[in-house]
Amino acid sequence: MAPGPDPYAAMTAFNRFGLGAKPGDLALAASDPRGFLLEELRAPNAGSIPSDGLQTTPQALQMFFAEQQQLRIARETAAAIAAPLAMASANASPTDAKLTDTKPADAKPAEAKLKPQEPPAEQKLFRAQAMARFNAQLKAGSGLVERLVAFWSNHFAVSVAKGQALRATAGAFEREAIRPHVLGKFADLLIAVESHPAMIFYLDNQRSIGPGSNAGRFDGKGLNENLAREILELHTLGVDGGYAQSDVTTLARIITGWSIAEAGSETGEPGAFLFKANWHEPGVHNLLGKNYPQTGRQQGEAALRDLARHPATARHIATKLARHFVADAPPQDLVDALAKAFRDSDGDLAVVSAALVAHDRAWSAPPTKIRDPNEFVIAAMRATGFQTNDPGQIWGVMNSLGMPLWQPAGPNGYADTTAVWASPEQMKLRLDVSWQMAQRARDVGPPLGVLDTVCGLAASRETRDALSHAESRPQALALLFMSPEFQRR
Amino acid sequence: MRLLVPAPILSRRAALQGLSVSFAAAFTPKPLSAAGARDPRVVVIILRGALDGLTAVAPVGDPDYALLHGALALPAVGDHAGLPLDGFFALNPAMPVFARLYKEKRALVAHAVATSYRERSHFDGQDVLESGYPGPNRTDSGWLNRAIALLPAAGGAPQRGLGLGVTAPLVMRGPAPVLGWAPQGLPSAGDALAMRALDLYAHRDPALAAALQAGLDTEKMATQGGMSDEAKKNKGGMDSPGGMRQAAAGAARLLAAPEGPRVAALAFDGWDTHQNEGAGTGQLATRLSGLDGAFEEFEKGLGERWKDTTIVAISEFGRTVRINGTNGSDHGTGTVAFLAGGAVAGGRVVANWPGLKADQLYQGRDLAPTTDLRSVLKGVLADQLGIRAPALGEKVFPDSAGVAPMKGLVQA
């Protein structure tokens, strides 16, 4: 197809679409960069990762529940012993091991006293899941599928800052709800996400009670529209997608009862999704002009399936994908092509992703975007073969650069624009980070060899000169990490 | 304003050329006061997540307040009661510093304010709040940055803004050059590497060159200002009182430096109190204590410059008047803006109170907005920075000529 190997196209395959080249990678893509990426999209089980040693969400939450229970007993025992000395404690703790909003910091003093060495359960779970994600990113071929995983994980953002239960399950959420569907149907992805305990907890749906349901009439609690609003605004139609406040409230009613089985639950597996029928707002609900007569959980699924195939959703997703991969203000014809692929395939994300890779605009647009902190640190590790069994080394860098893992500031996820990730403070920090990483890199050979690994013949003369004139090997490597070829994509 | 540390390869000015515009006609020099020319400072704090203005500054004199706001209403008397401001409004007890400044007539509250945005999306709401455009979807620049771009150059260099945080808030992004600073614990890369990277960018990527140069300058300024390693160490996120205080202390230090920036923006998180919001104590009160701590740090850290300072704390919209099913509140409309600082003509609550009866609420659920937040912000920019009304109505807050700057917010 192409007249001859194009060094820029091979670099684009790894930088714009992937996570940077490892030694020898550029040659694999050189003859047919698009075909190389399309091949990866067709690989069986693309996106999934081995579950060795990783806990499922119910397992993770059960470990967390059990530890909370132990801590409660230990606290009560300690209080009973101390009771004769001090009068009744005014600030007694909640007595049930259930999902609370307590942040890890609030619980630390008690844990520190009771268990001086062992990290809390949610921290161990977070650690294992973080390492699994980083390993997948480090080992991936081009990294395109992992970029898609990160994209969808950010589109359906949850944050561990919400509480210990989220810290315990954020990684499992990505593995269970996102990964199996990144090249599947958008509707399946949507339903998997909105019915996952991590998302339900993050956006408070386990507390939302239908006012006309048995539970609502009994104790007068009510709706919480948080999840419903973000489904419409962020996950599907987009804020300009043509819905009203009344649709938010209606969708909130439709998904009342989408909840989580708590510790000791007799109706469901503790820590798993549970539809609580007696919390569900009964009746036919009209969302965006359509009646949903189903009862129970199916009502919510039917509404989500319709939202998934709404044209506004296609446009919203197409715009975000093009913005992420190509440009802050993406070319309109590319957005249109992606939206059409989405509509024509009924939201088949393998088709949409292939349409992105196949589109000329996605290759011809200049590299005006900048790698986000996750992409940056992973690309540096891939280029230099830096190994670690300590995920903290990687998330430490991400923290420094303002992108703590699975912890965006809000449900709209991390920013996806150049202005945010190429700010003065950010570039200063990237310089410091580059220096740290360059000093830690061992046995990487001549820095110009690393430059060949990541850019090949596409490296600029200026960058090549800057590396050759550097006063030390770490300095040359740090300059490589800071070079426009490495930062931009 | 001069480069603080000479950069042999690329001068600041070369790096920033073409990024800044100044419109001399838009600017009126501040008249001399008895004490000499004012050297004004403006700080904008964005409270992200929609602040519940009714629990922050409670209309305890409104007969419907206690009943409607339920568990989130500040009690008028008793434990954790509101701190009385003017007989009708009471301040959340988590804010003793602001209460003192109010008594000293150096702080005021504007109540029942809102931007021009009337939907309830945080993100669009924040875009409108920060961009200064009448509607969402304009995220290329912020009103505060465009205001800085109107200021005359000082010492031959364009005026710069300061954006706290690893990434600058939208309100501070735009044509005027911006410095950034965030607490962190990384060892510095050193000048030699920095200059080589700048040299490479000068040849290959001017935008990255400008950004990196500005980032390095700020770090130097913070270090020369005597900021210890301890002060730089991260004390918590921007949703924690420790983090808020620390950000304010860092900003104050940079704003106090003789060659430092004059205008700064910060963003504090965590105001989206859908559940267990609390009243005089609890989640919201904890965040308000962080904001209060930030006011205190500015007062301490700005030293001599405090008397020339106006700090404005604003949020994208308010929250429902009735509490929701989970002891919190959902997205609403009208809320409060806090003004504090030595230059503020304070000691009052500015409010055209709409009332809380069913037919007085916006769409039957929210505090009705009776004051356009832009008039407050324009008033500050006009009196504090001397920017004229036409420029405020066209360039700073586009298409807002009909919204007059509020007079008398800043001491004459």
CA angle A167, A170, A176 (to 5 degrees): 145
Give strand pairing partners of A258. A275
The average pLDDT across A69-85 equals 77
Contacts A–B by Cβ distance under 8 A? 176
**Which residue type does A56 have?**
T
pLDDT tier at A345, thresholds 50, 70, 90: very high
Select the residue from A246, A417, A427, A479 to test the B interface by mutation, using most B Cβ atoms within 10 A. Answer: A427
For residue B28, what pLDDT is reported?
A: 57
Contact A283, A256 (CB under 8 A): no
Residues in chain A: 489
Record: contact A484-B192, CB cut-off 8 A:
no
Report how many helices (DSSP H) and strands (DSSP E) chain B contains, helices first. Answer: 13, 12
* Full DSSP string of B73-95: SPPSSSTTPPEESSSS-EE-TT-
Q: Does residue A482 sit at the B interface (CB-CB below 8 Å)?
A: yes
Separation of alpha carbons B399 and B396, rounded Å: 9
**Assigned domain for B406 exists:** no
**Assigned domain for B5 exists:** no
Separation of alpha carbons B240 and B243, rounded Å: 5
Q: Which residues of A touch B117 (CB under 8 A)?
A: none
**Assigned domain for B2 exists:** no
Record: contact A229-B331, CB cut-off 8 A:
yes
For chain A positions 228-247, those within 8 Å of chain B (CB to CB) are: 229, 233-234, 239-240, 245
**Assigned domain for B411 exists:** no
Q: Does residue B137 sit at the A interface (CB-CB below 8 Å)?
A: yes
Which residue range(s) make up the domain with B172? 12-396
Separation of alpha carbons A380 and A418, rounded Å: 19
For residue B166, what pLDDT is reported?
A: 65
Separation of alpha carbons A356 and A325, rounded Å: 9
For residue B11, what pLDDT is reported?
A: 29
For chain B positions 349-388, those within 8 Å of chain A (CB to CB) are: 363
Domain ranges of chain A: 203-308, 311-364, 373-487
CA distances from B344 to A229, B40, B89 (A): 39, 11, 19
Name the domain count of chain B. Answer: 1
Separation of alpha carbons A156 and A413, rounded Å: 8
Separation of alpha carbons B256 and B42, rounded Å: 12
For residue B251, what pLDDT is reported?
A: 93
Contact B103, B348 (CB under 8 A): no
Q: Does residue B205 sit at the A interface (CB-CB below 8 Å)?
A: yes
pLDDT > 90 in chain A, percent:
75
Show the tokens assigned to A303.
């509404």
Separation of alpha carbons B381 and B403, rounded Å: 14
Q: Does residue B167 sit at the A interface (CB-CB below 8 Å)?
A: yes
Contact B162, B169 (CB under 8 A): no
pLDDT tier at A97, thresholds 50, 70, 90: very low
User: Quick check: helix, strand or coil at residue B303?
Assistant: helix
Q: Does residue A249 sit at the B interface (CB-CB below 8 Å)?
A: no
User: Quick check: helix, strand or coil at residue B252?
Assistant: helix
**Assigned domain for B125 exists:** yes
Record: contact A410-B49, CB cut-off 8 A:
yes
Q: Does residue A420 sit at the B interface (CB-CB below 8 Å)?
A: yes
Give strand pairing partners of B349. B109
**Assigned domain for B409 exists:** no
Q: Does residue B229 sit at the A interface (CB-CB below 8 Å)?
A: no
Record: contact B197-A479, CB cut-off 8 A:
yes
Q: Does residue A462 sit at the B interface (CB-CB below 8 Å)?
A: yes
Q: Which residues of A touch B210 (CB under 8 A)?
A: 424
Record: contact A423-B211, CB cut-off 8 A:
yes
Record: contact B274-A226, CB cut-off 8 A:
yes
Q: Which residues of B touch A216 (CB under 8 A)?
A: 325
Assign residue B379 the CATH number of its domain: 3.40.720
The average pLDDT across A404-417 equals 92
- Among candidates B137, B182, B192 on the partner chain, residue whose Cβ is nearest the Cβ of A425: B182
CA angle B7, B232, B270 (to 5 degrees): 120
Record: contact A422-B208, CB cut-off 8 A:
yes
Separation of alpha carbons B102 and B336, rounded Å: 15
Record: contact B326-A233, CB cut-off 8 A:
no
- Bridge-based pairing state of the strands B263-268 and A273-275: unpaired
What is the chain A residue with the closest CA to B170? Answer: A420
Contact A97, A165 (CB under 8 A): no
Show the tokens assigned to A462.
């200026």
Residue B70 — left, alpha, or beta (φ > 0 → left; ψ -120 to 50 → alpha)? Answer: left
Where are any strands of DSSP class E within B288-381? 309-315, 335-340, 348-350, 371-372
Contact A471, B192 (CB under 8 A): yes
Contact B404, B146 (CB under 8 A): no
User: Quick check: helix, strand or coil at residue B338?
Assistant: strand
**Assigned domain for B404 exists:** no
Whether residue A190 has pLDDT greater than 70:
yes
Show the tokens assigned to A409.
């500031």
What is the chain A residue with the closest CA to B363? Answer: A245
Q: Give per-10-residue mean pLDDT for chain B (412 aa).
A: 24 30 46 57 95 98 95 92 95 98 98 96 90 87 96 82 81 88 70 91 96 86 62 71 90 89 92 92 96 97 95 97 92 97 97 96 96 98 95 96 96 88
Select the residue from A423, A435, A440, A463 to test the B interface by mutation, using most B Cβ atoms within 10 A. Answer: A423
The average pLDDT across A45-68 equals 92
What is the chain A residue with the closest CA to B140? Answer: A419
Show the tokens assigned to A267.
């109706």
For residue range A237-268, list pLDDT tens digits in order: 999 999 999 999 999 999 999 999 999 888 99
- State the residue for tokens 């001068």: B11
- In this structure, what are the phi and psi dihedrals at residue B179, rounded to the nearest 5 degrees? -95, 150
For residue A60, what pLDDT is reported?
A: 95
- In this structure, what are the phi and psi dihedrals at residue B57, rounded to the nearest 5 degrees? -130, 100
For residue range A9-28, list pLDDT tens digits in order: 999 999 999 999 999 999 99
- Among candidates A412, A419, A434 on the partner chain, residue whose Cβ is nearest the Cβ of B173: A419
Separation of alpha carbons B373 and B380, rounded Å: 11
Q: Helix %, strand %, coil % for chain B, to 5? A: 35, 15, 45
Contact B187, A434 (CB under 8 A): no
pLDDT tier at A161, thresholds 50, 70, 90: confident
Q: Please, which residues have CB within 8 angstroms of residue B264's CB and are 6 or more apart in sequence?
A: B41, B42, B43, B44, B161, B162, B163, B164, B172, B251, B254, B255
**Interface predicted TM-score of the whole assembly (ipTM), two decimals:** 0.85
Record: contact A425-B181, CB cut-off 8 A:
yes
